[in-house]
Structure 1
Amino acid sequence: QRMPQVQRAIELPAGHGELALGRRWRLGRQLRSQCYYQAIVLPNSLKSALVPLFAGIPRRTGWRGEMRYGLLNDMRLLDEQALPLMVQRFAALGAEPDEALPERLPAPRLVVDADQARRCRQAMGLAADRPLLALCPGAEFGGAKRWPAAHYAELAGHYLRRDWQVALLGSANDAEVTAAISTHCGGHPHCFDLAGRTR
Structure 2
Amino acid sequence: MPDSLIIAPQWIGDAVMTEPLLRRLQARGERLTVGALPWVAPVYRAMPQVADVIEFPFAHGGLQFRERRAIARRIEGRFDKAYVLPNSLKSALLPFLASIPERIGYFGEARVGLLTHRLKNPKNKPPMVAFYSALSGGAGLENDRPQLQMASAEIDQTLAELGLQRGGYHVFAPGAEYGPAKRWPARHFSELAARLGLPVVLLGSGKEAALCEEIAAPVNAAQPGKCLNFAGKTSLVQALCLIAASHSTISNDSGLMHVAAAFGVPQVAIFGSSSPLHTPPLSDKATVLWLKADAAYQPPLDCAPCFERECPLGHTRCLNDIGADRVLAALPSGA
| TM-score strictly above 0.5 | yes
| CA positional deviation for 1:112 | 1.3
Question: How many residues in Structure 1 have an aligned counterpart in Structure 2?
Answer: 188
Counterpart CA distance in 2 for 1:185 and 1:90 is 42
Distance 2:190 2:102 in 1: 42
CA distance in 1, matches of 2:172, 2:104: 32
Give the 3 Å change call, closer, same or farther, for CA 13–185 of structure 1 in structure 2.
same
| Counterpart secondary structure, 1:47 | helix
Q: Distance in 1 between matches of 2:210 and 2:106?
A: 34
Partner of 1:55: 98
Corresponding residue SS for 1:33: coil
Paired position in structure 2 for 1:107:
146
Amino acid at match of 1:171: S
Partner residue, 2:118: 75
List runs of 5+ in structure 1 lacking aligned partners.
none
SS of equivalent residue, structure 1 residue 70:
helix
Q: Could you say what secondary structure the match of 1:8 adopts?
A: strand
- Counterpart residue identity of residue 128, structure 1: R
Read off the aligned partner of 2:54 and give its amino acid letter. I
Task: Supply the distance in 2 between the matched residues of 1:16 and 1:155 (Cα, whole angstroms).
Answer: 31
Structure number with the bigger relative contact order (C-alpha 8 A, sep ≥ 6) is 2
In structure 2, C-alpha distance between the alignment counterparts of 1:136 and 1:3, rounded to whole Å: 25
1:158/1:113 Cα in 2 relative to 1: closer, same or farther (>3 Å)? same
Cα deviation for residue 30 of structure 1 reads 1.3
Which residue pairs with 2:203 in the alignment?
169
Question: 1:193 maps to what in 2?
Answer: 229
1:89 is matched with 131
Contact 1:130–1:163 under 8 Å retained in 2 = no
CA offset digits 1:44-65 (Å, max 9, x no partner)? 2111111010111122122222
CA drift at 1:158: 7.5
Report the TM-score, using the length of structure 2 for normalisation.
0.47
Q: Percent identity?
A: 30
How far apart, in 1, do the equivalents of 2:104 and 2:190 lie?
A: 37
- The alignment partner of 1:198 has SS state of coil
Q: Which residue of 2 aligns with 1:31?
A: 75
Q: Is the 8 A contact 1:132 1:166 kept in 2?
A: yes
Question: How big is the shift at 1:9?
Answer: 0.9
Specify whether residues 185 and 117 from structure 1 end up closer, same or farther in structure 2 by C-alpha distance, changes over 3 A only.
farther
Q: 1:128 aligns with which of 156, 161, 166?
A: 166
TM-superposed deviation, 1:108? 2.2
* SS at 2:92 equivalent: helix
User: How does 1:151-170 map onto structure 2 within 5 Å?
Assistant: 167-170=201-204
> What is the CA–CA distance in structure 1 between the aligned matches of 2:54 and 2:163, rounded to whole Å?
33
Structure-1 separation of matches of 2:212 and 2:166:
23
**Is the Cα–Cα contact under 8 Å of residues 133 and 159 in structure 1 kept in the other structure?**
no
Give CA deviations for 1:120-176 in whole Å, capped at 9, x if unaligned: 22433433234754637353xxx44x7632269868988997767654333323323
Q: Deviations over 1:40-83 (max 9, x none)?
A: 11222111111010111122122222111111222222226362
Compared CA separation, residues 131 and 43, structure 1 to 2 (3 A) = same
Task: Tell me what 1:19 maps to.
Answer: 63
**Contact preservation (8 Å) 2:85, 2:132:** yes
TM-score (normalised: structure 1): 0.73
Give the SS at the match of 1:65. coil
Structure 1: distance between partners of 2:188 and 2:86:
30
Distance 2:111 2:50 in 1: 26
CA distance in 1, matches of 2:213, 2:227: 11
Conserved 8 A contact 1:167-1:193: yes
Structure 2 unmatched ranges of 5 or more? 1-44, 236-335
